[in-house]
């Protein structure tokens, strides 16, 4: 293991103490020099002038030198005592104050050591002045928010995948067991069994793809951010749903104007594709679909409305939950039941929001608000 140097608290204390010692030494030297200059600049007498001090006759020069030496000695003695006191006080105060200042850093370190996949809910929520340490704590809390969202997304992915994949896997196992246990199974029976197994495999593949997309967008930031025209996205997504819409004899109306939104082109196309696919699959034969794209100073808006079964207004919000297929039984309709869940997660990843309202005559209208690109 690489050997670490002294801690930040000790280094700050040593540095501050050293600076105080250097400054005190400079001040002591300046005082010692100043005392000599004061005596040198005092009124002078002829050098051979004699004075009597305590009954002793000395010349003025000897007296001046003696006074200067005595003053410097007193200054040096008092200065050394003050120097020692200043150094010790600086070390003690710096050590104490640095400990208080660095306490939030120790809290961050302690929180990081306590972290695990099961304890991501703890936060520092540091109070006090908004300084660099508080900024670090806030950044740490924001990182924990992202980690918790990512872990929650992965947990939901695993739980949903394990729950939903049971059905196609059970179908495959049942078909195989029944067919293999029949000694008289012919080619037609084997073909029928292979068709059922293939359908169950396709169903499982759709589920995994949808769950992976949901995990990618749920609580995780975007990898790409660029201006995207929602009208072009709708046009591209409609190509995949047009054939099914024509087969169901649906009337379509598109009122789309150029509207730039900031985001990931692939995810934006998935948003439009899911809305249009839901509008086609959860519709009556001979029904209608209306798609509107609008632009504004802050939001670019995509709205897809369609006819369909009556939906109680108080149950509209449930449609955004995973594996909800309309208001009927979860296995009564085609699809994975993740369309609107993916839409809401992808829109939230873009910094927007999605809303839905029930059409009074039957059907659903979903409106997506996405951040508009600067003009």
Q: pLDDT by residue (tens digit) across 282-331? A: 899 999 999 999 998 889 999 999 999 998 888 888 787 766 555 554 33
pLDDT at site 299: 92
* Phi-psi region at 177: left, alpha or beta (left = phi > 0; alpha = psi -120 to 50): alpha
Query: Is 123 within the bounds of a domain?
Result: no
Look at residue 357 and give its three-state secondary structure.
strand
Mean pLDDT of 235-261: 90
**Is the pLDDT reported for residue 258 higher than 80?**
yes
Of 209, 203, 212, 286, nearest to 246 (Cα)? 286
* Phi-psi region at 307: left, alpha or beta (left = phi > 0; alpha = psi -120 to 50): beta
Query: Is 98 within the bounds of a domain?
Result: yes
pLDDT at site 291: 95
Looking at 194, 218, 242, the residue that finishes a domain is: 218
Mean pLDDT of 84-91: 85
CA angle 212, 217, 218 (to 5 degrees): 95
pLDDT at site 177: 83
Looking at 163, 195, 218, the residue that finishes a domain is: 218
Could you tell me the pTM of the whole model? 0.52
Report the share of the chain in percent with pLDDT over 90: 18
User: From the CB of residue 137, how many other CB atoms can be counted at a distance below 10 Å?
Assistant: 21
Position with higher pLDDT, 227 vs 30: 227
Residue 366 structural domain: 226-327+334-371
**Is the pLDDT reported for residue 161 higher than 50?**
yes
Residue with tokens 């050590």: 95
Domain count across the chain: 3
pLDDT at site 40: 57
Looking at 200, 218, 236, the residue that finishes a domain is: 218
Residues 234 and 367 in one domain: yes
Contact 215, 154 (CB under 8 A): yes
pLDDT grade, residue 332 (50/70/90)? very low
Mean pLDDT of 49-72: 66
Q: For 92-146, what is each residue's pLDDT tens digit?
A: 888 888 888 777 777 777 766 776 655 666 676 766 666 677 777 788 788 878 7
Of 355, 369, 367, 340, nearest to 263 (Cα)? 369
Length in residues, the chain: 375
Alpha helices in 58-165 (DSSP H): 60-114, 132-164
Residues 262 and 312 in one domain: yes
pLDDT at site 150: 72
Position with higher pLDDT, 220 vs 181: 181
Query: Is 197 within the bounds of a domain?
Result: yes
Residues 307, 287: Cα–Cα separation, whole Å: 6
Residues 192 and 283 in one domain: no
User: From the CB of residue 45, how many other CB atoms can be counted at a distance below 10 Å?
Assistant: 14
Residues 13 and 29 in one domain: yes
Position with higher pLDDT, 61 vs 346: 346
Residues 261 and 210 in one domain: no
How far CA 229 is from CA of 154, 183, 213, in Å, comes to 31, 60, 22
User: From the CB of residue 243, how many other CB atoms can be counted at a distance below 10 Å?
Assistant: 10
pLDDT at site 153: 66
Query: Is 189 within the bounds of a domain?
Result: yes
pLDDT at site 367: 94
HSE toward the beta carbon, residue 367, CA cutoff 13 A: 11
Position with higher pLDDT, 131 vs 184: 184
Name beta bridge partners: 227: 262
**Is the pLDDT reported for residue 174 higher than 70?**
yes
Mean pLDDT of 16-45: 73
CATH number at residue 287: 3.30.565.10
């Amino acid at each position: 293991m690489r050997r670490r140097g002294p801690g930040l608290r000790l280094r700050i204390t040593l540095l501050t103490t050293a600076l105080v010692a250097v400054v005190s030494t400079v001040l002591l030297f300046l005082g010692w020099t100043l005392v000599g200059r004061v005596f040198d600049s005092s009124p002078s007498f002829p050098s051979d002038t004699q004075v009597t001090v305590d009954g002793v006759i000395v010349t003025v020069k000897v007296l001046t030198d003696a006074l200067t030496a005595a003053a410097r000695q007193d200054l040096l003695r008092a200065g050394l005592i003050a120097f020692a006191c200043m150094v010790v006080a600086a070390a003690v105060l710096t050590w104490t104050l640095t400990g208080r200042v660095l306490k939030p850093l120790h809290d961050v370190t302690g929180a990081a050591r306590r972290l695990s996949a099961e304890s991501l809910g703890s936060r520092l929520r540091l109070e006090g002045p908004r300084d660099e340490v508080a900024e670090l704590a806030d950044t740490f809390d924001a990182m924990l928010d992202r980690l918790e969202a990512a872990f929650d997304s992965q947990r939901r992915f695993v739980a949903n995948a394990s729950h939903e994949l049971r059905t196609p896997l059970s179908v495959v196992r049942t078909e195989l067991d029944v067919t293999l246990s029949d000694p008289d199974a012919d080619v037609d029976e084997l073909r029928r069994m292979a068709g059922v197994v293939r359908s169950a495999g396709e169903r499982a593949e759709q589920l995994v793809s949808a769950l992976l997309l949901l995990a990618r967008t749920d609580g995780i930031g975007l990898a790409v951010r660029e201006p995207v025209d929602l009208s072009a996205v709708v046009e591209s997504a409609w190509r995949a749903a047009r054939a099914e819409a024509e087969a169901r004899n649906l009337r379509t109306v598109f009122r789309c104007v150029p509207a730039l939104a900031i985001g990931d082109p692939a995810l934006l196309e998935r948003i439009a594709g899911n809305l249009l696919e839901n509008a086609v699959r959860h519709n009556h034969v001979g029904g209608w679909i209306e798609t509107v794209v609008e632009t504004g100073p802050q939001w670019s808006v995509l709205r897809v409305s369609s006819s369909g079964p009556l939906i109680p207004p108080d149950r509209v919000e449930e449609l955004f939950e995973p594996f909800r297929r309309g208001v009927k039984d979860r296995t009564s309709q085609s699809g994975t039941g993740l369309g609107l869940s993916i839409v809401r997660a992808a829109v939230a990843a873009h910094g927007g929001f999605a809303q839905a309202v029930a059409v009074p005559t039957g059907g659903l209208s979903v409106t997506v608000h996405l951040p508009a690109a600067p003009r």
